Amino acid sequence: MVLKRLLGAIPLLVGITFLSFLIMRLAPGDYTSMMMDPRMTQADMAALRENLGLNQPIWMQYIKWLKAVLQGNLGYSYVTGKPVLGLILERLGPTLLMSVVSLVLILVITFPLGLLTGAKRYSAFDGWVTVLSFIGQSLPTFWLGMILILAFSVKLDWFPTSGYLDPMAEVMGGFASIKNIALHMVLPMLTIVIGSIAGFTRYFRFGIIRILNEDYIKSAKARGLSDKRILFKHAFKNAALPIVTLLGLELPGLISGSFVIEYIFAWPGMGQLGIQSAFSRDYPVLMGLLLMTSVLILAGNLLADLGYRWIDPRIKHS
């Protein structure tokens, strides 16, 4: 099954990258239009476009890019001249740190909340969690991030407004660096977690309620099984299936970095690199990020399918 999915992902990946390449190239302007040097003549601009291959037909540019990718070369940045793969790997560490910690917090908070609200549906606790979930889902990410900066950085001065690591803390090293990174990470991580918890909790709550109304749960209650055993042994595992789907879609987004959040908090991850590359029309870097994101999305879907088979063996047999 895994090999079949991997082979099927190849044409899909080619289609995604080609359409993205086409859209970027058809957009008004290119890298040369961002250059403001008045000493450059039209002839110089034409020579630069020819040197970068921007004067060639779009299909030819894509074929050249695809051949280079198959050889392990994602190209070179128009802005810095550095290899695209190196630029992405430089930003991968901060993005992975943010993603892993955020995902752990999301799961640790979501599962107990969803389980309790599903088991105690229509109670006062369920009502409060439902209201807060709707509020969390309705808050725009960029607005929430700025509100957190205003409240906890500007007004209370509890956390840094942006960045990753202060220079003085980096010089001190050790625990001081770890503490400083953690302080910088609190607000962007909180912005990610609030929105994700709201959606995940609602899905898990509905799953628990649906499972508790199944006939086999009623039969288990009739046999005298305790509510705790029914909830954790029977309902929890079956209700987790929709969460596996959401995690398969959420994980690539977390790993590839939230563009808006990283840009607002100046977090030096792949999301911020993507925003900077879009502003400067740095096509090679954008295509490298897009390729990595596409691969992660396909890998996330594959992991979700494997998670299905592990949680519910009936899917494997079918």
pLDDT digits over 52-101, tens only? 777 777 888 888 888 888 888 888 888 888 898 888 888 888 888 888 88
55 and 187 in a single domain? The answer is no
Burial class (CB in 10 A: 0-12, 13-18, 19+), 190: middle
270 and 286 part of one domain: no
Residue 316 has pLDDT above 80, yes or no: no
Please indicate, yes or no, if residue 208 is contained in any of the structural domains: yes
Residue 141 shares a structural domain with residue 244: yes
| Residues spanned by the domain of 11 | 1-26+44-70+281-318
Runs of H (alpha helix) within 223-282 = 227-229, 236-239, 241-256, 259-264, 270-279
Dist CA 74 CA 269 (whole Å): 18
CB-based contact 194:204 (threshold 8 Å)? no
By three-state DSSP, how is residue 83 classified?
A: strand
DSSP 314: H
The answer to whether residues 246 and 130 belong to one domain is yes
Distance between CA 207 and CA 106 in Å, rounded?
17
Q: What are phi and psi of 281, to 5 degrees?
A: 55, 40
The SS3 of residue 71 is: coil
- pLDDT band at residue 317 under the 50/70/90 scheme: very low
Residues 6+ apart with CB under 8 A from 239: 114, 118, 204, 207, 208, 210, 211
Structure confidence by residue, pLDDT tens digits, 18-38: 888 888 777 766 666 666 666
78 occurs within a structural domain: no
Answer yes or no: do 291 and 262 share one domain.
Answer: no
Q: Do 291 and 266 share a structural domain?
A: no
Q: Count up the domains in the chain and report the number.
A: 2
Determine, yes or no, domain membership for 141.
yes
Q: Is residue 87 part of a domain?
A: no
Using a 10 angstrom Cβ sphere, with 0-12 exposed, 13-18 middle and 19 or more buried, the burial of residue 68 is middle
Residue 213: the pLDDT is 74
Number of continuous H segments (helices) and E segments (strands) in the chain = 16, 0
Please check whether residue 31 lies inside any domain of the structure.
no
Contact 99, 257 (CB under 8 A): yes
At 255 the pLDDT is 63
Do residues 132 and 155 both lie within one domain?
Answer: yes
User: What would you measure as the largest C-alpha separation in the chain, in angstroms?
Assistant: 86
Using alpha carbons only, give the angle 6, 11, 13 rounded to the nearest 5 degrees: 80
208 shares its domain with 287: no
Residues 6+ apart with CB under 8 A from 288: 74, 75, 84, 85, 87, 88
* Whole-number Å distance between alpha carbons of 90 and 84: 10
Same domain, 190 and 237: yes
* CATH code of residue 215: 1.10.3720.10
Residue 183 lies in a domain: yes
Q: Tens of pLDDT along 191-217?
A: 888 877 877 787 778 777 777 777 777
Higher pLDDT, 286 or 49: 286
The tally of CA atoms less than 13 A away on the side-chain side of residue 200 is 28
Judge if 244 and 203 occupy the same domain. yes
